[in-house]
Amino acid sequence: MSFRPCSRVACPEESAATLTFDYSDSMAVLGPLSLRREPHSFDLCERHARLTSAPQGWQLVRLRMTTDGAAGLDCAE
Ligand SMILES: [Zn+2]
């Protein structure tokens, strides 16, 4: 499997989560790293996944992560 870097500019970390945008529902879903790249998703490292917030008017849904390193990711509501 190839190395998948974080999508953030100049971030060298390996991705640990995937942020997917559902444009029809104005919903951003942050979950475990997807197996393959999707058109409207962005891979993020653990740190950037934690720092991510939804754009204005969007809802951010954090799926519970199973890896130990992602502890602290909880539902935003
Ligand atoms: Zn990053």
Residue 49 inside a domain? The answer is yes
Domain span at residue 42 reads 17-70
Confidence of residue 16 (pLDDT cuts 50, 70, 90): very high
Expressed in angstroms and rounded, the spacing between residue 14 Cα and the centre of ligand 1 is 7
Residue 65 inside a domain? The answer is yes
What are 17-39's pLDDT values in tens digits?
A: 999 999 999 999 999 998 887 88
Residue 57 inside a domain? The answer is yes
Expressed in angstroms and rounded, the spacing between residue 29 Cα and the centre of ligand 1 is 17
What are 37-70's pLDDT values in tens digits?
A: 788 899 999 999 999 999 899 999 999 866 555 4
The model's pTM: 0.76
Residue 56 inside a domain? The answer is yes
Domain count within the chain: 1
Residue 60 inside a domain? The answer is yes
Q: Residue 71: its pLDDT value, please?
A: 47
Residue 4 inside a domain? The answer is no
Residue type, 41: S
Residue 7 inside a domain? The answer is no
Expressed in angstroms and rounded, the spacing between residue 77 Cα and the centre of ligand 1 is 24
How many whole angstroms separate alpha carbon 6 and alpha carbon 52? 12
How many whole angstroms separate alpha carbon 20 and alpha carbon 39? 9
